[in-house]
Structure 1
Amino acid sequence: MFNSKKKLSTLIRFPILLAVFIILTLSFVIDLKGKQVEMHQDLEDEAYLLLDMSSAAMAQALWTYNDESIDKIGTVFLESQTVAKVQIMDDNDNLVYEMEKSEEPYDVKYHDMTYKNDIFYDSIYVGQIYLTTTAFFLRDVLYKELGSYIVKMIFINIAIFIAIIFVSSKITSAIDRIAEGITAFSEGDESYRIEVQGNHDLERLSNRLNSMFDTIINTRQTLLTNIRLLKNKEENLRIAQDRYKHAVEGSNDVIWDWNIIEDVFYISNRGLQIVGLKKDAKINQEIWLEYVHSEDQAQYMYFIESFKDMENNYKELQYRVVAGDGEIKWLFARGKSILDQSGRAIRVSGFITEITERIKAEESFDKLTYYDMLTGLPNRVMLFQRLSKIFSDGRRLESALVHIDLDDFKTINDTKGHKIGDEIIQSLASKLNEEIHCDVIARVGGDEFAIIVSDCDLMQAGEIAEQVQAIINTPIKIKENVFNLTASIGIAIYPYDGQDLDTLFMNADNATYKAKELGKNRYEFYEKSMNEKMVLKHKMEDDIRRGLAEGEFILHYQPQLDYKSKKIIAVEALVRWNHCKKGLLSPMTFIGFAEDNGLITPLGEHILKVACTQSVYWESIGIKGIIMAVNISSKQFSNRNLVQNVQRIINETGMDPKRLKLEITESVAMESLETTMGIMTQLKEIGVSFSLDDFGTGYSSLSYLKALPIDQLKIDQHFIKNVTIKNYEQVMVGAIIDIAHSMGLKVVAEGIETSQQSKLLESMSCDIAQGYLFGKPMGAEAFVNLVYQSVEN
């Protein structure tokens, strides 16, 4: 297989020597590499030792910006033989110190590694230190080792060469087998083993080579196995990373992580976007805390620190953050801590969901449920919740419920429209909310408010009511209109006037009704007797409704006599209640109730329809030309449908509108002069006439008297009663008659009871007389008889 002579000359003298040389060189290189790694490690340990030993001093120096201390520390670093360069940066990455050795061993070409250390002062990042080492001395040592190796190799090779010459003949076969084995193994025959007999080094060498072959085979198999495992793990990791990446990018949630041991905080880009930071911006707990709403920072810090509690490693928190543009956003955070073997939390991971829209939806729902949409004040539901809290607390301290009901506010809505009314309510609500100090002020009805004042006695409640009155009595200007409002206020005191919601509120309402009965624009405290009156009020309301349904309201007619012709030319229709149990009732017993509960409108329409129907009937039986005078109350006149209702009744009954006269009082006419004139003008266009009732008791203003489209004045009976006794009444009555005539108006004197009164009024040129002297209010049949009798006479 081999040429023996050639093998001995080549394989022993040269190849074997070369193989031994290579083996020794490889061994030396491995050893030299080990020394190099060891020296590098020593160099690194020395660098980090220097950094650790100086970190406390450097932190103090950087924290206080002590340049002298920084220079001293930098000089200490440079005293180390292996340090070539020192750089010190502050917390904003600004260079505060730099020094580099200039000698040959520290030239840039010898620079080896740069070591960095972050400096913290009381857990606050204050800067970094960078140390650059030189490899000059390391190389020097390595070069000396290399020189030593070369010398050793020369002597070893010479010795081997001499030995080979002397023993070549004896070891030729062994060397052949060894060479053959090495060749076979290197060519891939892993099963080949060298067999050399004899107790000499070649045998031991062959054994060593065989062992090395086994080691190489095992190592190769281990490496191949590890490579396969690493490739599998690498592929699984890549798949997991892709899944994680897609999950994070596709989710609207924020992923957060906190390494408790190293205090490293991570927020995914979605979280950075929520607070207005750029993608991949630098973030830590301190920076994130700056974005947490100031009111939520304490509970957020408790949430974070509580993860260190080993008893419960899952927690949730709902809190707010303030984005860079000032927008407040709501977040819902969940986190779970990871524990080490001792049960100590070392890390927290979790998700954060932005719930701003959900919170807004909940707030909108709460606002719709608990707040009045027009004023923004709490509504009745919220008011009752607060009252419930007072009751549920079990407190016995006095608390006041103040109920406010605007007087005659419906008139404003009916005459000016609901838009103006809403603006008045909004303005009033704003003033009350700003100026009244209380627990709650709520809007509980169209023109009703309620106030809760806790720990409040009778005197304090009265003061609150006076403040409310002052606010409401202050004129409110809406566009070109000025409104002078009043309110009736009722006060109930907990726990004396009620220990449950319904009772307390009902009693405050009763007190309000009492204030209205006593003249309005005042406040009243609840008294037990009010309940009896409220029962009577509600019973009266039910009775009026029943009476209207069953036709119990009838009309009596009082004649009006023309002084010139001495004939009955008109009647005033006066309502009476023919009660099924109580008999005939005068208007004084029920008109007030009807006005308070809104029944005056259907009652007024009933009166007008009956009066028109009666007038048409009289015409049909020959009693012609009689003017029908019908009183219109304030509530009726403020009804925006008044004109349509009158027109409808005229059409339904066939009444001649020229024979219909509507009587209104001065106070009704002056509530809203512009609206009044508009309504009167529309009705006069269809033929209806107007009489101003009770003249002299109200405004008695010539300017409005001239402006109103009225046809006659009725002098109040108060003046007529004493017209023959007191000179003042005579002067007043005479002046009224003269003024009315100068304006082209007829004058009616009502309440005439004596012939002396009648003669005096006739002498003053009064036009029409009305009173008991000429006839009391009477039924329709009695009036017909009176007319026939007057015709006969």
Structure 2
Amino acid sequence: MRNWWHALGVQWKLQILIMTAVFVLFLVFQQWIVGMFESRELSDSRSIAQDTADGLINGLNKLMVTGKISDPRNRLLLLRKMSSTRGIEELRIIRAKQVSDQFGPGLPSEAAVDALDRKAIETARPVYKKFRKDGELRFRAVIPFVVSTNFRGTNCLMCHHVQPGSVNGAASVTLNLTDEELSMEKLNSWLWWGLLAFELILSAIIGSFVRRIVVKNIEEPLGRLKQIMGEARSNMDLTVRAKIDGRHRDVDELAGTFNVFVENLEGVTNKLALYAKVFENSEEAIIISDAQNRIISVNRAFTRITGYTQEEVVGRNPKLLSSGKQDLEFYEEMWRSIRNTGQWQGEIWNRRKSGEIYPEWLSISTEKNDRGELANHIAIFTDITSRKRSEERIRFLAYYDPLTELPNRVLFEEHMSRALAAARRSGNQIALLFLDLDRFKSINDSLGHLAGDLLLQSVARRLKKHIRESDTVCRQGGDEFIIVLTGIENPESVIHVAEGIVKEMAEPHHIAGQHLVVSFSIGISLFPQDGSTSETLIRNADAAMYHAKEAGRNNFQFFSAEMNSEAFERLSMEVDLRQALKKGEFYLKYQPKMDLRSGNLIGLEVLIRWRHGEKGEIPPSKFIPIAEECGLISPIGDWVLQTACGQCQRWRDSGMISLPVSANISALQFRQQKISDIISRILEETGLDPKLLELELTESMVMQNAQETMVTLAKLKKLGVELSIDDFGTGYSSLNYLRYFPLDRLKIDRSFVRDITTVEADAAITRTIISMGHSLNLKVIAEGVETKAQFDMLKEQGCDEIQGFYYSEPLLPEEFERYLQGRRIAHG
């Protein structure tokens, strides 16, 4: 029943509903008509019975008045007369008990024969009943005779003790309604067929009208909506929307509901698509398994990390990734946490498809269904191989020097603490060697930091060869190293190690295509005699190391109490040096230069001096090395150039002199990438003519990284300044390079001039330098000339210029101005 009804279209459903409604109305109308006629029939039957009863009572009154009522024949005659009309089938007189008591019982037919008769007499109200007899419809009415006050025979009744208002009898009237029933059946039949035809016609008219309305207002809009729904379903196109035109409210509401549904579905679909993208594109691997831990799905990151494709793992247990590194207890604890809390996370080692074991950070959680039952396991993990390497690298960097891979200060302190504790227990000695590479800054500045790093690595490898496994070598920082020798029984074993290091360093290092020879200055302190703590031993070994440098470098020195005092003095001087520029404690002196042939004043060399606020004059031989070591030589050198150029320009502006001034350039200054820019700026700021500035460079400085030196010298020469080699003969020069340098002058070191008149070798060296300089078209100047004999020898050898106390000591600016008076001055 339900299926065929659902299969019908809206039109047929409405047609059936309309016909049903009309049929129900027809039934109601038909029943109303029949009921109306039946009611009318009953009313007519009651009226006939009442009229008959009234006529009968009137006839009885007349018989009573005339005295004929006592004769039963008169009463029967009256009944026959009254029942002969209007379809009366039976008419009876019923005598009340009080009448029977006074006048006798009367005829047997006049007695109350049934309950209907008795009820009418007892209630004094008419009683009606419809019934069938012999298949025909009958109507019986029992109407009581109630004595009235206006009854003409009242006096007669009163005489017989009959009171007004009492019932003295009743008339029983029975009507045959067969004809009326047949008429009603004909009427009912006519109504059935007539109204049925009317129903069909009306249903057809209403149905046609309704169908037109339905087609236009329901089916067509619904058809369009159905078509849109079909397109959305077949094409999975969630962007389609039903049109709402405002003419069909119900259909518009349905279309609006559809649009909202599609929009919500589109949102859900987009979210699902987004979740799918997140799942697939996540950098973290994801495994989804069922309640039995069988893999349902994995993402691309899983394949990338493990090497397994989805097809290879679906339906399998994730334990296929197990590496075997974790024991059974580990997995039992993991699953216990998952069962109790629904989650677990931690580090685990698994195996890739290739067999490689790798670390991962794994998080496992569970999902339950609506019934609270376990539905899925979700595992998310990240390959932390790189992180583990980084952690190992961080641990390495925390304890080791990344350049040399030697222990750093932190690890050194740990080893030193253990070594000191062991030495206190055993009573053995410990030796701490503090090593500093000699002139490393010059190498680093000349060859570059990369070459310097390679040299440090080479040095570190060599140091490792000279220690035992129980000993420690670490990089303290920069070019400083520390070696801790344990279990020392006597100083001779320490000397043996130190000598081995000095000898090893004598072998060249092959760095950046060059053969570099470096040396160590080594300071040694011993436990317990030189200190009981790591800090004290390092400080004392550091002091001994500086003593080794002062002793000419490339040697080792044991600590003594005097060294500690010197180390403190050096540290104090370094602190004071950092404040000297700010306090203006530096000042300059100018030493004149003389032309040997003419005896004329041809120039000046500027020399720095330091007048300490508390300690007084400090010689350059003390503070210059310290300034070079701590990196202060560059700002000090820049100040010297700025001040000297400014002073010479002031002398020139005043018309006193116009002579060149020479200044020493440190290796650190020279290796600055912008040394030419600094010189150019100073010349521009002071206004000094570039040809009046001469820069003195040490021999060893220019010979380190000769190619780069030529580039820097060319830039300086382009500025117009003069260039000279200072302390020539003390270093190692390559004449092949020297002849290509844009130099103007060679300066013979004072160590050769000092004994030129007494030591033939020194005289031969000066003669050779002068000859070589002239062969290169360079002028030669000798410094430190203090006697006439030295002056005469140099003049004889053909030296061009001299400076020294024989000619003039270094002078303050005001002293030099007085010195100029009466002097012959060479003019440009």
Q: Same fold (TM over 0.5)?
A: yes
Q: What is the aligned partner in structure 2 of residue 417 from structure 1?
A: 448
CA deviation vs aligned residue, 1:384-418 (integer Å, no higher than 9, x gap): 33334445778535444443332222223322222
Name the counterpart of 2:536.
503
8 Å CA contact 2:590–2:605 kept in 1: the answer is yes
Output one character per residue of 1:27-67: Cα deviation in whole Å (capped at 9) or x when no partner: xxxxxxxxxxxxxxxxxxxxxxxxxxxxxxxxxxxxxxxxx
> Which residue among 798, 801, 808 is the counterpart of 1:765?
798
Aligned: 1:523 with 2:556: yes
With over 3 angstroms needed to count, the CA separation of the structure-2 counterparts of 1:727 and 1:393, relative to structure 1, is: closer
Match runs of 1:730-749 below 5 Å: 730-749=763-782
Question: What amino acid is the match of 2:474?
Answer: A
Match of 1:691 in 2: 724
**What per-residue deviation string (whole Å, max 9, x for no partner) do you get for residues 662-704 of structure 1?**
2223233323333333322221111111222233343365434
Deviation per CA, 1:403-438, whole angstroms, max 9, x where unpaired?
333222222332222233233334444554577544
- Distance between the aligned counterparts of 1:546 and 1:784, measured in 2? 30
Judge conservation of contact 2:295–2:314 (CA < 8 Å) in 1.
no
**Would the aligned equivalents of 2:321 and 2:351 in 1 still touch at CA under 8 Å?**
no
Q: Name 2:709's counterpart in structure 1.
A: 676
Structure 1 counterpart of 2:170: none
* Paired position in structure 2 for 1:638: 671
State the secondary structure of the residue aligned to 2:614: coil
Relative to 1, partners in 2 of residues 1:605 and 1:321: Cα closer, same or farther, differing over 3 Å?
same
1:381 aligns with 2:413: no
Where 1:710 maps in the other structure, the secondary structure is: coil
Q: Return closer, same or farther for 1:582/1:739 CA change in 2, 3 Å cut-off.
A: same
Q: Determine whether 1:449 maps to 2:481.
A: yes
1:407 paired to 2:438: yes
What is the match of residue 372 of structure 1? 401
**8 A Cα contact 1:569 1:625, kept in partner:** no
TM-score, normalization: structure 2?
0.53
- CA gap of 1:254–1:456, structure 2 versus 1, over 3 A, is farther
Displacement of 1:615 after TM fit? 0.9
Structure 2 alignment gaps of length 5 or more? 1-281, 289-293, 335-343, 364-378
1:703 paired to 2:736:
yes
| 1:490 corresponds to | 523
Determine the C-alpha separation between the residues in 2 that align with 1:731 and 1:503. Answer: 50
2:351 and 2:486 mapped to 1: Cα distance?
35
Paired AA for residue 366 in structure 1 = R
Instruction: List aligned pairs for 1:453-492, cutoff 5 A.
Output: 453-456=485-488, 458-492=491-525
Change in CA separation of 1:490 and 1:302 when aligned onto 2, cut-off 3 Å: farther
Distance 1:660 1:462, change over 3 A: same
Match of residue 588 from structure 1: 621
Cα separation, 2, equivalents of 1:367 and 1:778: 58
Separation in structure 2 between the aligned mates of residue 521 and residue 400 of structure 1, nearest angstrom = 19
Give the TM-score normalised by the residue count of structure 1. 0.55
- Counterpart of 1:782 in structure 2 is 815
- With over 3 angstroms needed to count, the CA separation of the structure-2 counterparts of 1:452 and 1:607, relative to structure 1, is same
Secondary structure at 2:592 match in 1: strand
SS in 2 for 1:790: coil
Q: Match of 1:788, SS? A: coil
Q: 3-state DSSP class of the match of 1:556?
A: strand
Output aligned runs, 1:523-542, within 5 Å. 523-542=556-575
- Relative distance call for 1:577 and 1:441 in structure 2 (3 A) is same
Give the residue type in structure 1 aligned to 2:816.
F
Instruction: Give every structure 1 segment of 4 or more consecutive aligned residues whose post-TM-superposition deviation is greater than 6 Å.
Output: 250-255, 266-270, 272-278, 280-283, 301-307, 315-319, 331-334, 351-355
Q: Determine if contact 1:412/1:638 at 8 Å carries over to the other structure.
A: no
Identity of aligned pairs, percent?
A: 37
Deviates more, 1:585-594 or 1:715-724: 715-724
| Paired amino acid for 1:327 | E
Classify 1:727/1:325 alpha carbon distance in 2 versus 1 (closer, same or farther; 3 Å).
same
- 2:632 maps to what in 1? 599
For 1:450, give the aligned amino acid: I
Change (3 A) 1:566 1:466: closer
User: Which is higher, the Rg of structure 1 or of structure 2?
Assistant: 2
Determine the structure 2 residue equivalent to 1:28: none
Listed as ranges, the gaps of 5+ residues in structure 1 are: 1-249, 256-265, 308-314, 335-350
- 2:392 aligned with 1:363: yes
Asked whether the equivalents of residues 331 and 352 of structure 1 are also in contact (C-alpha less than 8 Å), the reply is no
Shift of 1:599: 2.0
- Please tell me whether the aligned partners of residues 321 and 350 of structure 2 are also in contact (alpha carbons under 8 angstroms): no
Conserved in 1, the CA contact under 8 Å of 2:359 and 2:383?
A: yes
The superposition leaves residues 572-618 of structure 1 with CA deviations (integer Å, 9 ceiling, x where unpaired) of 11222222233333322322222222222222222222211111111
Indicate if the aligned counterparts of 1:752 and 1:771 stay in contact, CA closer than 8 A: yes
One-letter amino acid matched to 1:745: L
Q: 1:442 to 1:759 in 2, by over 3 A?
A: closer
Equivalence for 2:746: 713
1:575, 1:449 → 2: CA distance? Answer: 33
Q: CA separation in 2, counterparts of 1:322 and 1:405? A: 49
1:454 deviates by 4.3
Alignment-derived partner of residue 64 in structure 1: none
The count of corresponding residues between Structure 1 and Structure 2 is 517
Distance (Å, rounded) in 1 between the aligned partners of 2:563 and 2:348? 51
Residues 1:564 and 1:402: Cα distance change in structure 2 (over 3 Å):
closer
What amino acid is the match of 1:690?
Answer: L
Question: Please, which of 687, 691, 697 is the counterpart of residue 658 of structure 1?
Answer: 691
- Matches of 1:484 and 1:682 in 2, distance apart? 29
Change (3 A) 1:608 1:379: same
1:327 equivalent to 2:356? Answer: yes
Match of 1:649 in 2: 682
Amino acid at match of 2:566: K
Tell me what 1:570 maps to. Answer: 603
Aligned-residue CA RMSD (Å): 4.7
Kept after mapping to 2: 8 A contact 1:414/1:640 = no
Deviation at 1:526, TM superposition (A): 3.7
Q: CA deviation at 1:654?
A: 1.7
Tell me the SS of whatever aligns to 2:805: coil
Task: Report SS of the residue matched to 1:396.
Answer: helix
What displacement does 1:660 show?
0.8
How far apart in 2 are the matches of 1:729 and 1:427? 38
Please tell me whether the aligned partners of residues 396 and 495 of structure 1 are also in contact (alpha carbons under 8 angstroms): no
